[in-house]
Amino acid sequence: MIEAFRAIVDGDEPPPPGARAPSEEDLIRALQVVLKSQCLYADTPGIGRSYEIARYYAPFFKSYFACLGYSFEVSPRDQMVFLRVPADGVRHDGQAERLRKDETLVLLALRLAYEEGLREHRVTTDGVVECTTDDIAESIRTAARSEAPEEARLTEILRLFARKGALRLGERDKVEKITPLMILPGVAVLSPDSWMEQVRAWAAARMDDDG
């Protein structure tokens, strides 16, 4: 792995066309950004060349993250690189930390809103589905028969998932007290189908108990 790293920064591995080989700092930063963010896009702000480096040197990134038990993948259609975490097995990473109940409900609502946008063809060419914090709160109430977090807590949770590449928050409307949201393709990475099945079963059990 060290030899592959040196080959990239020394230029022995051909750099992207028209670009210089990444420095040690560039490559280390790209690895750290992918690990921290999980989902990274071509237009993610504040990441320098990290997306370009991760996408171009995908074989190295695949091998590196495989050593940590992750699957590094590239989605050219969505201009996204991401880490798919293992569904089973013992894990000791930050991604393995259990979500709180309200965080689980918000992520469920985000995924449902994204799926609804896809079904209704409300997705942009960049794979973005637009909605608002009101839509997310209503989805929580209808899908899980649970009260949505109050506004400040909801915003805090949304920012948590935004850092992971699931969405972007717009500017809050101070009069209507709602915030526009842009749900990104990475929401499906953070809430894989197996996770959705478990959460839906949990929500259905709650409804049966309440009924």
User: Model confidence over 164-208: pLDDT tens digits?
Assistant: 999 999 999 999 889 999 999 999 999 988 888 888 787 677 666
Residue 55 contacts residue 75 (beta carbons within 8 Å)? no
Write the CB contacts of 50 (distance below 8 Å, at least 6 apart in sequence). Answer: 26, 29, 30, 33, 34, 40, 44
Average pLDDT over residues 19-25: 94
Q: What is the pLDDT of residue 193?
A: 87
Does the domain spanning 98-210 belong to CATH 3.30.70.260? no
In what helix (H) or strand (E) does residue 26 lie, and over which residues does it extend?
A: helix 24-37
Beta pairing partners, 71 = 84
Query: Rounded mean pLDDT of the chain?
Result: 90
pTM: 0.87
Q: CA 75, CA 21: separation in Å to the nearest integer?
A: 23
Q: What is the pLDDT of residue 92?
A: 47
Beta pairing partners, 34 = none
Q: What is the pLDDT of residue 194?
A: 85
